[in-house]
Amino acid sequence: MTKRKLRNNWIIVTTMITFVTIFLFCLIIIFFLKDTLHNSE
Query: SS3 for 41?
Result: coil
Q: How far apart are CA 26 and CA 36, in angstroms?
A: 15
Looking at residue 9, what DSSP letter applies?
Answer: H
pLDDT score recorded for residue 21: 98
Residues 24, 18: Cα–Cα separation, whole Å: 10
Question: From its phi and psi, is residue 27 left (phi > 0), alpha (psi between -120 and 50) or beta?
Answer: alpha
Predicted model pTM:
0.61
The per-residue pLDDT string of the chain (41 residues; one tens digit each, 9 = 90 and over) reads 577 788 889 999 999 999 999 999 999 999 999 988 887 76
